[in-house]
Amino acid sequence: MSKRSLVSILCTAAMLVLFAVFPAAAHADNPIVQTVYTADPAPLVHNGRVYLYTGHDEDNSTYFTMKEWRLYSSADMVNWTDHGSPMSLATFRWASANAWAGQVVQRNGKFYWYVPVTNRATGRMAIGVGVATSPTGPFTDAIGRPLAENGEIDPTVFIDDDGQAYLYWGNPNLWYVRLNADMISYSGGVTRIPLTTAGFGTRTGNAARPTLYEEGPWVYKRNGTYYNVFAARCCSEFIGYSTAPGPTGPWTYRGTVMPTQGSSFTNHAGVIDFNGGSYFFYHNGALPGGGGYTRSVAVEKFTYNADGTIPSITMTTTGAPQIGTLNPYVRQEAETIAWSSGVETEPASEGGMNVGYIDNGDHIKVKGVGFGSGATSFSARVASATAGGRIELRLGGATGALAGTCTVPATGGWQTWTTVTCPVSGATGTRDLYLRFTGGGGSLFNVDWWRFAGTAGAGR
Ligand code: FUB
């Protein structure tokens, strides 16, 4: 969220609530992103990384005011790299509003991003499809028109072992089509999946919607069983799931995955297996100023029960455990973040994103940094249109042991980059690294990337 809104939101009472809810906020790593509000997670595993596609709730939203999608990626499930916005409403010339919940799938070296948006011509929600040759985009409109349109939302795409792909979507109904191998057309009709109480549970008090199915299906296959994990009941939603012996059913309701929790009246699931573990992505309203229209994506690691059923998963502020350690002796993007306070990100003139809008006292936490036998120096790519400031390298906490201080000079522009280097001592073993930024008033400087140098053998 922007600092402007943060200042307006964080009145003393809210701060008190925050510290009551998150007594260990300094150690929290969930929600995943703190620089903007994110929603509707859609994770994709590709080449040893998790690519997390999300929606973007605008600051101070009073509706699902969403104009673009965002992308983050991680190899360790705790330090997430911000890739900015690789697709927006502007990608689809025929779309006018509502960049809502989508999903990306890979096929034949291309990445297809299925999203619901409002069709300007009809005023109805329709399913568009973006395409790119890289998971980070940029994505273009694959067909220049809606792939499907019936006023309903939340596409999920699943490719079965025989190569047949299915596109499911819907609220209040649940639909599917068989996608052709080109992934941008389909054969056969649009089929309505029967919403029976046996298949999708029983909702009480809503004659028009007798089953629990609400929206946000996420369909996948595991050990021969087909899973449909969906947002259930409204409102507030919880996450439920059904299973089936085939991709088109018949579905059997299996119960709750995540109970109603977390200050957002919607929830939205994305489920993956990665590096031998299973992960459940969802959203809540846990950030300051968060709520039903200012949501944040979070993640929990879980283990399937022996019979393939999904255990009940609870929201936490700690999130998933780290896989391995982060290597400080190769270039790391400044926007690779486990937790941040005060900063924002923006596109960088030298490529990718940079961290910006840095004020005195802001910080970035990078978790589980593998310093090995010790770092001797730190370098960072920085720019400042004002007087610059300092990067304090702290270990274990934002006010932890000081391992070094790099001075950032004025460079004459926010995108006028120079590299600064400073000595480091005491950074050994595996530690949480905090880049703490200090200086005068207002915005201090931007950081594009950083890297440590070490003693011989310091690398992992
Ligand atoms: O983010 C807008 C809508 O809210 C999504 O399409 C639904 O799944 C719900 O999360």
For residues 261 and 348, state if they share a domain: no
* 107 exposure class (CB count in 10 Å sphere: 0-12, 13-18, 19+): middle
Is there a domain that residue 53 lies in?
yes
CA nearest to 183, candidates 162, 164, 161, 155 = 164
Strands across the sheet with 339-341, in order? 339-341, 363-372, 429-438, 389-395, 401-408
Q: How many angstroms separate the CA atoms of 219 and 326, rounded?
A: 32
Q: Are residues 357 and 255 in the same domain?
A: no
Give domain status of residue 310, yes or no.
no
Determine, yes or no, domain membership for 313.
no
Which residue's C-alpha comes closest to atom 4 of ligand 1? 266
Read off the pLDDT of residues 422-452 as tens digits, 9 standing for 90 and up: 999 999 999 999 999 999 999 999 999 999 9
pLDDT at 130 over 50: yes
| Whole-angstrom distance, CA of residue 105 vs CA of residue 270 | 13
Query: Rounded CA gap, 55 and 153, in Å?
Result: 14
DSSP 188: E
Same domain, 400 and 272: no
Q: pLDDT tens digits, residue range 52-98?
A: 999 999 999 999 999 999 999 999 999 999 999 999 999 999 999 99
Q: Which residues pair with 453 in a beta bridge?
A: 377
Q: With CA atoms as reference, report the closest residue to 154 among 92, 228, 211, 86.
A: 228
- Which atom of ligand 1 approaches the CA of 267 most closely? 10
Q: What's the CA-to-centroid distance between 421 and ligand 1, angstroms?
A: 45
Tell me, yes or no, whether 199 and 337 share the same domain.
no
- Is residue 194 scored above 80 in pLDDT? yes
- Please give the share of the chain, as a percent, with pLDDT higher than 70: 93
Which residues are within 8 A (CB) of 100 and not within 5 positions of it... i.e. 6 or more apart?
40, 55, 64, 66, 115, 116, 117, 125, 153, 154
User: Which residue range is the domain that position 359 belongs to?
Assistant: 332-454
The predicted pLDDT at position 23 comes to 37
- Asked whether the predicted pLDDT for residue 20 surpasses 60, the reply is no
DSSP symbol at 373: T
Is there a domain that residue 315 lies in?
no
**Same domain, yes or no: 362 and 450:** yes
For residue 46, the SS3 value is strand
Mean pLDDT of 231-248: 97
Q: What is the pLDDT of residue 19?
A: 37
Q: Which residue CA neighbors atom 2 of ligand 1 most closely?
A: 100
DSSP assigned state of 97 = E
* Structural contact between residues 57 and 65, judged by C-beta atoms closer than 8 angstroms: yes
Residue 124's contacts (CB-CB under 8 Å, 6 or more residues apart) are 118, 149, 150, 151
- Residue given tokens 């920085």 in the structure block: 382
The predicted model gives 304-331 an average pLDDT of 97
Average pLDDT taken over every residue of the chain: 94
In eight-state DSSP terms, residue 291 is B
Provide the pLDDT confidence category of residue 11 given band limits of 50, 70 and 90: very low
Cβ-contact 136, 157 below 8 angstroms: no
| C-alpha–C-alpha distance, residues 423 and 407, integer Å | 11
Rg of the chain taking only CA atoms, in angstroms: 23
Q: How far apart are CA 449 and CA 381, in angstroms?
A: 5
From the CA of 4, how far away is ligand 1's center (Å)?
Answer: 25
For residue range 318-345, list pLDDT tens digits in order. Answer: 999 999 999 999 999 999 999 999 999 9
CA 160-117-345 angle, 5° bins: 95
Do both 213 and 359 map to the same domain?
Answer: no
Do the domain assignments include residue 326?
Answer: no
Give the mean pLDDT of 193-216: 97
Give the pLDDT confidence score for residue 27 in this predicted structure: 55
Question: What's the domain count of the chain?
Answer: 2
36 and 337 in contact (C-beta within 8 Å)?
no
pLDDT for 14: 40
Q: Is any atom of ligand 1 closer than 6 Å to the C-beta of 39? A: yes
Residue 40 CA, closest ligand 1 atom number: 10
Taking the centre of ligand 1 as the mean of its atom positions, its distance from the CA of residue 99, in whole angstroms, is 9
192 plus 90 within the same structural domain:
yes
pLDDT of residue 28: 77
Residue type at position 79: N
Position 26 confidence tier, pLDDT thresholds 50, 70, 90 = very low
Looking at the structure, do residues 292 and 337 belong to the same domain, yes or no? Answer: no
User: Which among 302, 319, 341 is the end of a domain?
Assistant: 302
Assess whether 58 and 19 both reside in one domain.
Answer: yes
Q: Which residue type sits at 227?
A: Y
Name 37's bridge partners.
Answer: 57
Task: Provide mean pLDDT across the span 238-250.
Answer: 98
Check if 58 is active-site: no
The answer to whether residues 133 and 203 belong to one domain is yes
Query: Torsion-angle region of residue 5: left (phi > 0), alpha (psi -120 to 50) or beta?
Result: alpha
CATH number of residue 262's parent domain = 2.115.10.20
Q: Are residues 298 and 340 in the same domain?
A: no
> Of 286, 302, 318, at which residue does a domain stop?
302
Q: Report, as an integer, the average pLDDT of 351-366.
A: 98
Q: What is the pLDDT of residue 455?
A: 81
Main-chain dihedrals φ then ψ at residue 207, nearest 5 degrees: -60, -30
For residue 214, indicate whether it is catalytic.
yes
Q: Which of 57, 152, 154, 214 is labelled catalytic? A: 214
pLDDT bucket at 1, cuts 50 / 70 / 90: low
Q: Which two tokens stand for residue 120?
A: 């300007």
Encoding tokens for residue 366?
A: 């990078």
> In terms of Cα–Cα distance, which of 66, 113, 19 is closest to 292?
66
* Torsion sign over Cα 329, 334, 339, 340: positive
Does residue 322 lie within any of the structural domains? no
CATH number of residue 348's parent domain: 2.60.120.260
End-of-domain residue from the set 287, 302, 317: 302
Position 32 in a domain: yes
Termini Cα distance of the chain: 35
Q: Tell me which residue of 3, 71, 5 sits closest to 293, measured CA to CA.
A: 5
Counting ligand 1 atoms within 8 A of each CB, the residue from 266, 281, 294 with the most, and so the one to mutate, is 266
Whether residues 239 and 386 share a domain: the answer is no
**Assigned domain for 235 exists:** yes
Q: Tell me if the bond preceding 86 is cis, omega within 30° of 0.
A: no
Cα 70 from Cα 402, distance rounded (Å): 34
